[in-house]
Chains A and B, each alone.
Chain A
Amino acid sequence: MIRGERLRDLIPMKPEAFTVLLTLLHEPGHGYAILQAAKADPGARGDLQPGSLYRLLARLLDADLVAELPASEVPGDADTRRRYYRITALGRAAVEAESERMAALVDTARRRLVGAGSDL
C-alpha cells in the first residue's frame, strides 16, 4: 500500500494546491490557463500570483501529483512555446481522497450545526 501511505502524507491538502489540481482534472493546461481557471473557481481564496503558482507546481511535480505533458502530446492547436501540465493518477486519487475528507468534515459540521439549532 505504498500509494495509500503516500496519499496519507498528502492529505489534508493546502487549499491552493487543491484548487490547482481541480483546474487540471478535465484537461491539461499551461500556467496562465491554470491561473485563469483558478480565478474563476468560486471557492478560490483571493488571486493566485504567478510566483506562488510556480512554487506550488514545483511541489506538485515533486510529489508526482502533476506531470509535465511531453511535447508530443501537447494539443495541435496549442501554444507550443508554453509548457503544459496534466494531473497524474496519484493526483486524481489525492483529489478524491481530499474531497472525501472535506465531505466528511462538512457532514460532521452540518450535523452538529443542526444539533445546535441552526437552519442548515
Chain B
Amino acid sequence: MDARNLPVRASVWLYRSLLRIFPAWFGRRFAVEAAQVFADVAVAAYSSKGLLGLTLLWGRTFSDLARGAWQERGTYVSLASLGATLRSAPRAFRREPWFSAAVILTIGLGVGSATAIYTLAHGILLRPLPFPGSERVLALCEVDPQTVGYCIASPPNVRDLGAMTAAVDHAGVARTWRFRRQDGSDSTPMRVGIATPGFLRAHEPSLLHGRLFTESELTPGDNQVVVLMHSFWQEWAGGDPGVVGGPITLDGKDFTIVGVFEPDTWFPQFEHALAWAPITATPDNPDQRGWRGFVSVARIVEGVSLEQASAELEANYAILAAEYPEDLAGWDLQVERLRTQMTGDAVPAIRLFGLAVTCLLLIGCANVANLLIVRAQARAPETAVRAALGAGRTRLAAQLLAESLMLSAAGGVVGIGLAVVLVRAGIGYAPPGIPRLGEVGIDLNVAGFALALSIVTALVFGLVPALRVTRTDVGVVLRGGRFGDADAARMRRAILVMELALAMTLLTGAGLGIKGFAGLSNWEPGFDQEGLVITWMVADFSQVESGAEMVESFDLVAHVVAALPGIAAVGQTSTGPLFGGIETDELRIEGEQPGGQLSMAQHFDIGPRYFETLGVPMVRGRGLSDSDTAEGAPVAIVNEALVRRYWPDGDPIGAEIAVGEHVATVVGIVRDTLPFAPGELVRPSVYWPKRQYTRGATYLVMRTDLAPAEVEKLVRERLAAEIPLVEVTPFSALRDLAGQELVSPRFQIMLLSTFALTALLLSSVGVYSIVAYSVAQQSREIGVRLALGAHPRRIAGEVVRSGVRLALVGGAIGVLGALALARTLEAVLHGVSSTDPLALASVATLFVLIAAIACWLPARRAARVDPVGALRG
C-alpha cells in the first residue's frame, strides 16, 4: 500500500479502533485478523469504485459493527440504555447549542462549498459530452510531425479503417460547408454539416421525424438529402412536421428533407451546423486519400476496451500505409476518446480544483477536530466521574459515537443543501455556450468523500480524547481539572498550523491566479484596440469567375467602406489577433541548406493599409502598396520576431523566403504584435499581399468611432446596393472579442477565489477559537498578572503574538506547499510565474493581517479580565 491508498489506510485504522466496541475476548482472538480481512475488502472496494466504493463499504461496515456489538454485548447495552444513548444525543445538543452549531456549520460550510465548487469546475471545465454512450466514441486523428495539435483525417482512410476494424461499428468523417439557402427571392448563407452516415451514427442521434441519410445516398445524384437540426427546424419551418419529405433549396439545388433531429441532439465541434447533408453534396470530391480536411469519429463495439480498439485501428492503419505509401508515408494514426480530445486542456485545472477541495475539506476537518478536542477537555471531569461511578467505556463510547454521528449527519445535511444552492448560483455566473449546463448535478463522489471525511473526523476526534479520559485516574482529573492539557494544547496547535498552511497554499494559488488574470485583461498588443471593428467577408462562389475577380470585389468593398462617413481606415487580412485563428506553415530561406531544424512561421495574406488601420508601425523597408498586384514581383513583409530568429545579425530585406509553396522577396519589417496570453512568445510571421496569394474569404478590419452595429448597418446597406455578391458576418469590436476570451479565465478565478476566501474564513475562525479558548483557560493566570500590575496592553500583545506566531509558521509551510504545486498552477494559469514575489508578499500580508484580527478579539477580552472575578472564579 503506498501513499495513494491513504483512504484505505485511514479506513483500516478506523476499523481497528472501532473493533474495540466488541467484547475483549473477541479483540484478543480476532481483532488483527478481522482488520486484515477488512483491509482486503477495502482495497478491493477502493480499486474498483474509488472513494464511492469505500464510502459504500463504510455504510455496510457501520451497520455490521453496530449489529455485532449489539448482539455480543447484549448484557451490557440493553435496549433501554441504547434508547437512553439516542435520547441523550439531542440533549447534548441543547446543552451546548453554540458548540453544536459551530460544528454543524463548519462541517456544512466545508462539505457544501467543496462539493459545489468542485461540481461546477468539473461540470463546466470537463464539459461532458451529452449523448448516449459518449464514452465509447473515439476521435481518429491522422498526424504527422507538422500537424501536431490538429486532429484531421481523410474520408477514404476512415472509410477503409471502419470496414477493416471489427472493434468499431460506426466510423465516419465530417466538416462544415456554407451553402446559400434560397427562400423565394431571399438568399441566406447557411452553415451545414456534411458527413458520412457513419459519423452521425457514431453519436447515436435520435430523430424526432424521418430518418438519417444512408450510405447509398452518398452517390452523386442521390445525395441531395438533408436532416435538419431541431432549432433550425423550429425557426425556419415553425416546427411543422409537414416539411419532412419536402424540399429546401441550397446553392440553387432542391434538397429533400428526410428527417429532423431530437431537440437535444448535439454533435461536438459542430454546434453551429443547422442541418446535415451527405459529404458528397458539395462541389468538392472528398474521395482523395491525401485530403485530410475532416473531423473523424468512430464508435467502439460494446464490450471492447479502448486499448483493444486503438491497437486494432493502428494495426489496420499500418496496412493502409503499406498499400498507399504516396498518401500515407510519414503519417500516423492517433486514437483517443472524443471526450479526452475535447477536454484535454481542462485536466490540469480539474486537478488543481481537486487539490483545492482537499485543502478546504482538511481545513474544515481541522476546525471540527479542534472544537471536539476542546469539548473533550471541558467535559473531562464529567466523563471521569461517570467512568468512576461505573459507566462502562462501551456505554460512554456509544454515547459519544451517537453524538458525533448526529453532529456530522446534521452538518452533512446543511452541506448538501448549501451545495445545491451554490451550484445553482454558480451556473448563473458560468460563461455562455456550455451545453446542458442546467443539468449539472451535485458531484456525488465529492459529496460522499466530503461527508465521509467529516464523519471520520467527528468520530475520531469526538471519541479518542474522551476515551483517554476514562483511562485516567478520576482523582487526577477532578483535582486538577486540567487533564492532559499540555498534550491537547500541542495537538490543537499542530492542527491549527496545518490548517493555516493549507489556507495559505490556497490563498497563494488564488493570488497568483488573480495576478495572471490581471495580466490577461491588460493586453497591450502594440496597437490601439479601441475603435477596431471586424467582420468576415465571403464572396458568392457561383458568381465570381476567378480568384482575381474575388480579390477585386474584396478590394472594392474595402474602397467603398473606406469612403463611408465615420470610418477612419480599412484593411483586410486572412487572420488576426483574437480573430480568425492561426495559419502556420514551413518556412524556408533561399540559399540556406535544407535539412536543418524544421522552421515554422505564421502566415497572413493582407490588403494594402492593413498595418496602418491597426496602427502597427513599419520598422524598416516599405509596407504594401496598391502597386503590389498579381502581375508584380511577389513580395513579403516579416515581423521582428522572424528577423530575430533567422537573421540575428544580418539583413532580411531583399532575401527570398518561401512559406509552403509560396516564394517572395522580403521588402519590409513590421513591429511585433504581442499575443493575448501574457508570457506567450511572439511567433515569427510573414505577410503577403492578398492580390498575390488568392483566398476565397477575408476579414475586413475597420478603424472607426462608431459602434459595431452602426457600422454594420451602414456597410450592409452599401453592399446590398453596390456589391451584392459579397456577404458579411455580424460585426464585432476587437475589445469585445478580448472580453469574450476573458470569460472562462474570469470564471475559473472566481471559483478559485471563492475557495481561497472560504479557506481564509474557516481558518481565521480556527485561529479565533484556539486563541479564545486558551485565553479563557488562562483567565485565572491573567487575572493574577493583572492584579500584580501587568499592563493590559502587554497582555493583549502577548495573546496576539502567540496567534500570529502560529500564523507565521503555518504561512511559511503554506508558501512551501504552493511552491511545490508550482507546475500545476503554471499549467492552469498561463503566463504566471508561481514564484512571483509581489503576489506572494501581498498574499502573506493579507494572511497575517487576518490572523492578527482573529487574535485581537480574544486579546481584547484578555486585557479586560477582571482580576478579582478571575481569581474568585
Contact = CB atoms under 8 A, between A and B. Distances in A.
Interface in A47-95: 47, 49-55, 57-58, 81-83
B36 interface: yes
A54 B36 CA distance: 12
Nearest to A32: B40
A31 B33 contact: yes
B371 to A, nearest CB: 30
Interface size class of A (residues with CB under 8 A): 10 to 19
Contacts of B29: 54, 58
B26 A58 contact: yes
Contacts of A83: 33
B24 to A, nearest CB: 13
A51 B66 CA distance: 10
B717 interface: no
A24 interface: no
A20 interface: no
A82 B34 CA distance: 11
A52 B37 contact: no
Given A47-B60, A52-B64, A31 B26 contact: no
Interface string B9-25: 00000000001001000
Interface in A30-52: 30-32, 35, 47, 49-52
B41 A51 contact: no
Contacts of A81: 36
B37 A50 contact: yes
A53 B64 CA distance: 10
Contact of B68 (A31, A47, A52, A82): A52
Contacts of B71: 55
B523 interface: no
A53 B61 CA distance: 12
Interface string B28-42: 011001111110110
B64 A32 contact: no
A49 B33 contact: no
A54 B60 contact: no
A32 B44 CA distance: 11
B271 interface: no
Nearest to B61: A49
Nearest to B15: A50
A107 to B, nearest CB: 33
B72 interface: yes
B848 to A, nearest CB: 49
A54 B33 contact: yes
A58 B61 CA distance: 19
A51 B18 CA distance: 11
- The residue in A31, A50, A58 that gathers the most chain B C-beta atoms within 10 A of its C-beta is A50
Given A50-B38, A50-B41, A57 B30 contact: yes
Contacts of A53: 34, 37
Contacts of B35: 50
Contacts of B67: 52
B18 to A, nearest CB: 9
A52 B38 CA distance: 11
Contacts of A54: 26, 29-30, 33-34, 37
Interface string B463-504: 000000000000000000000000000000000000000000
B765 interface: no
Nearest to A79: B36
B41 A55 contact: no
Interface size class of B (residues with CB under 8 A): 20 to 34
Contacts of B388: none
A85 to B, nearest CB: 10
B62 to A, nearest CB: 10
Interface in B47-89: 60-61, 64-65, 67-68, 71-72
A47 B71 CA distance: 18
Given A47-B60, A49-B60, A49-B61, A55 B72 contact: yes
A47 B38 CA distance: 13
A51 B36 contact: no
A102 to B, nearest CB: 24
Contacts of B61: 49-51
B59 to A, nearest CB: 11
Contacts of A49: 41, 60-61, 64-65
Given A32-B41, A35-B41, A51 B33 contact: no
Contacts of B60: 47, 49
B40 A51 contact: no
Contacts of A47: 60
B103 to A, nearest CB: 28
B36 A82 contact: yes
A91 B510 CA distance: 66
Contacts of B64: 49-52
Interface string B495-520: 00000000000000000000000000
A55 B73 CA distance: 12
B676 to A, nearest CB: 56
A67 to B, nearest CB: 14
Interface in B294-328: none
Interface string B102-125: 000000000000000000000000
A55 B37 contact: no
Contacts of B33: 31, 54, 82-83
Contacts of B40: 32, 35
Contacts of B30: 54, 57-58
A50 B11 CA distance: 14
A52 B36 CA distance: 14
Nearest to B25: A58
A52 B29 CA distance: 14
A50 B37 CA distance: 6
A30 B61 CA distance: 20
B36 A31 contact: yes
Nearest to B40: A32
A47 B34 CA distance: 15
A49 B41 CA distance: 9
A32 B35 CA distance: 11
Given A47-B60, A49-B61, A55 B36 contact: no
A55 B30 CA distance: 9
A113 B36 CA distance: 46
A52 to B, nearest CB: 5
- The residue in A31, A47, A57, A58 that gathers the most chain B C-beta atoms within 10 A of its C-beta is A31
Contacts of B68: 51-52, 55
A52 B37 CA distance: 12
A35 B65 CA distance: 16
B57 to A, nearest CB: 9
B194 to A, nearest CB: 53
A32 B37 contact: yes
- The residue in B37, B41, B61, B71 that gathers the most chain A C-beta atoms within 10 A of its C-beta is B37
A31 B19 CA distance: 16
A78 to B, nearest CB: 14
Interface in B808-854: none
Contacts of B22: 51, 55
B34 to A, nearest CB: 5
Contacts of A51: 19, 22, 34, 61, 64-65, 68
Contacts of B37: 30-32, 35, 50, 53-54
A35 B43 CA distance: 14
B3 to A, nearest CB: 22
Contacts of A31: 33-34, 36-37
A116 B61 CA distance: 43
A31 B71 CA distance: 21
- A-B interface, 9 closest residue pairs, ranked by CB to CB distance from nearest: A49-B64, A31-B37, A54-B30, A32-B40, A50-B37, A50-B38, A51-B68, A54-B34, A51-B64
Given A52-B67, A53-B37, A58-B30, 19 more contacts: A31-B37, A32-B36, A32-B40, A35-B37, A49-B64, A49-B65, A50-B61, A51-B19, A51-B22, A51-B34, A51-B61, A51-B64, A51-B65, A54-B34, A55-B26, A55-B68, A55-B71, A55-B72, A58-B26
9 contacts: A31-B33, A31-B34, A49-B64, A51-B34, A54-B30, A55-B22, A55-B71, A58-B26, A82-B33
